[in-house]
Amino acid sequence: MSLLSVHGLKVAYGGIQAVRGIDIEVAEGELVCLIGANGAGKSSTLKGIMGLAHPRGEVLLAGERLHKLPTHAIAARGLALVPEGRGVFGRLTVAENLDMGAYARRDRAGIQADLARAYDLFPRLAERRAQLAGTLSGGEQQMLAIARALMGRPRLLLLDEPSMGLAPLMVRKIYETIAMIAAEGVTLLLVEQNAHLALKVSQRAYVMESGEITLSGASAELAANPRVRAAYLGE
Amino acid sequence: MDIFTQQLINGLVLGSIYALVALGYTMVYGILELINFAHGEVTMIGAMVALSVIGVLLGASPDLPGLMVVIAGLLVAIPACMALAFGIEKIAYRPLRKAPRLAPLITAIGVSIILQNVAMLVWGRQYVSFPAILPRGQHEILGAHITDLQIAIVVLSLLSMAGLWLLVEKTRLGRAMRATAQSKEVAELMGVNVDRVISYTFIIGAAIAAIAGVMVSAYYGLAHYYMGFMLGLKAFSAAVLGGIGNIAGAMLGGLLLGVIEALGAGYIGDLTGGFLGSHYQDVFAFLVLILVLVFRPSGLLGERVASRA
């Protein structure tokens, strides 16, 4: 059984249909990516899964219906979204941001252990733990956003354009981190405009166009598909 | 008697009350960007409820110790104001959460008028006097007088502010409030029940307003259904002076405004050769408001919006 099943998800803003009834499955331990051009509806899909932007359709986490729940309850059930543009709390310190990631948890000892692990994983954040998050560089903020999401021990981590606006070196670092997180067994759904990167790091992929899924399959196969190569890999 | 020291003391006492009321404005603004114009009326209701309780207790047994009677009034006024603010937010503001900003603002003014009228119906048009049951000791410092009541007001204000500061900076709820103030959507993604945090913000602000309401009516010896209007406007000015949305700013702005007002009232007669008297003291609060809005709209401790990352 899939960990995440999305059936007929629709998201609309005013009269504009951003997501037109799509199905997505993510199995436990998988890294699945969702690629597509700007405006294809990828971010809206992630928002819809999290219950933001008044979605319609079904979202199931290990069989439990999430689509009737408010966003904070969906988050508390183990879905974490790292939003586009990172969404760190700029006027909270790095440490406070990480605490916010664990907001829904009550196991103090576990939180402490995960905090130590986060600082281990991201030594830059440890150095800057008392600093306001707004003073970090873009790459550091992305690291913080990912570390913060992990503080919730998510069953499924949704990442929205983690490479956006970052220098190539930082992008590489972020993707190494994503691969590492996946290797630890965290299930991931990754949205990315940079299809190269996304298809390389993921096992399966969905291609989205104008609010619909037009192709899906193993990432390696999609990377070899002439249509995908022409449209998304710049060949 | 040293007028300067005396007015400084009077200003700090009044200012600490302004600061408490200003906190309610600034906390709500910080989270919702709403100027809750009904907050002054919540303060008034706090004073009225406390006075009713005090009246009933004294009526039942006039020999009760005054301090205990006032504390009992306060202990009823606080939850009454909390419940009132909870209801106002839920009924009047929450349905308008996604409406254009002008709609909740006008609603707030409407709520404020409703509360004034309800208070007028319940407590009448007359001034309700605060019975003289509190200890009336007086002390001299630096050539000026300070009463027990004034000391109590300043101490209780500082304690309230310290308590709020701890709550906002050190607790899980406080962190959630600060996160919600920065981004409701991301806070929600962290598992924060944003609606509940907003309710708490109103409730906490109202509890502090109740304390301020009781103190101000004890200080002036009276309460009136219309008292929340001017007090609310001044506290709002104090919040703007400190930088609206900024908690430390509200505290600083309140104290500063009280001092400016008291010193202004103390010296306006001398400055204008007796042409204007101390009853013009209200002018100063609004003069300050205008000057701040013209020269430093972000307030003393407020950040410029453009500097937000």
The predicted structure's pLDDT at residue B307: 35
Give me the mean pLDDT over the B52-75 stretch: 93
| A232/chain B closest Cα distance in angstroms | 30
Give the number of domains in chain B. Answer: 1
Give me the mean pLDDT over the B228-242 stretch: 94
pLDDT at B305 over 50: no
* Strands ordered across the beta sheet of A187-192: A79-82, A156-160, A187-192, A31-36, A204-209, A212-218
Answer whether A81 sits within 8 Å of B189, measured CB to CB.
yes
CA distance B49 to B55: 10
pLDDT at B45 over 80: yes
Answer whether B190 sits within 8 Å of A83, measured CB to CB.
no
Residue of B nearest to A83 (CA): B186
Q: Is residue B141 part of a domain?
A: no
pLDDT at B309 over 50: no
- CA quadruple B216, B220, B223, B229: dihedral positive or negative? negative
Instruction: Report the SS3 class of residue A163.
Output: coil
CA distance A19 to A13: 10
Produce one character per residue of B273-292: b if its CB has 16 or more CB atoms within 10 Å, e if not: eeeeeeeebeebbeebbeeb
> For the whole model, what pTM was predicted?
0.92
Q: Is residue B210 part of a domain?
A: yes
| B17, B215 contact by CB (below 8 A) | yes
**For chain A, first and last CA: distance in Å?**
37
Residue of B nearest to A150 (CA): B190
CA distance A46 to A40: 12
Chain B neighbors of A75, CB-CB under 8 A:
188-191
CA distance A223 to A33: 12
Give the tens place of pLDDT for each residue, B117-145.
Answer: 999 999 999 999 999 888 888 898 888 89
Q: Is residue B140 part of a domain?
A: no
- Which of A71, A90, A101 is opposite residue B309, by nearest beta carbon? A90
ipTM score of complex: 0.94
Residue of B nearest to A49 (CA): B189
How many of the other CB atoms lie within 10 Å of CB of A207? 24
Give me the mean pLDDT over the A180-197 stretch: 93
Give the tens place of pLDDT for each residue, A47-103.
Answer: 999 999 899 999 999 999 999 999 999 999 999 999 998 999 999 999 999 999 999
Chain A neighbors of B194, CB-CB under 8 A:
72
pLDDT at B279 over 80: no
Residue-averaged pLDDT of chain A: 93
The predicted structure's pLDDT at residue B303: 66
pLDDT at B234 over 60: yes
Answer whether A72 sits within 8 Å of B193, measured CB to CB.
yes
| B242/chain A closest Cα distance in angstroms | 18
The predicted structure's pLDDT at residue A136: 94
Which of residues 134 through 193 in chain A touch B, CB cutoff 8 A?
Answer: 134-135, 148, 152
CA distance B11 to B254: 10
Answer whether A89 sits within 8 Å of B188, measured CB to CB.
no
- Which of A72, A135, A148 is opposite residue B194, by nearest beta carbon? A72
* HEC letters along A52-121: CCCCEEEEEECCEECCCCCHHHHHHCCEEEECCCCCCCCCCEHHHHHHHHCCCCCCHHHHHHHHHHHHHH
Chain B neighbors of A146, CB-CB under 8 A:
none
The predicted structure's pLDDT at residue B1: 61
Domain ranges, residue B122: 2-135+146-308
pLDDT at B227 over 60: yes
Angstrom distances, CA of residue B200 to CA of B11, B35, B45, B181, B191: 31, 17, 19, 13, 16
The predicted structure's pLDDT at residue B306: 40
| Cα atoms found within 13 Å of the Cα of residue B108, Cβ hemisphere only | 24
Task: Report the CATH number at residue B45.
Answer: 1.10.3470
pLDDT at B107 over 90: yes
CA distance B207 to B158: 15
For an interface test with A, the pick among B175, B182, B190 (most A C-beta atoms closer than 10 Å) comes out as B190
Instruction: Give residue B267's pLDDT band: very low, low, confident or very high (50, 70, 90).
Output: confident
Answer whether B188 sits within 8 Å of A152, measured CB to CB.
no
The DSSP symbol for A225 reads -
Instruction: Give residue B193's pLDDT band: very low, low, confident or very high (50, 70, 90).
Output: very high
Instruction: Give residue A15's pLDDT band: very low, low, confident or very high (50, 70, 90).
Output: confident
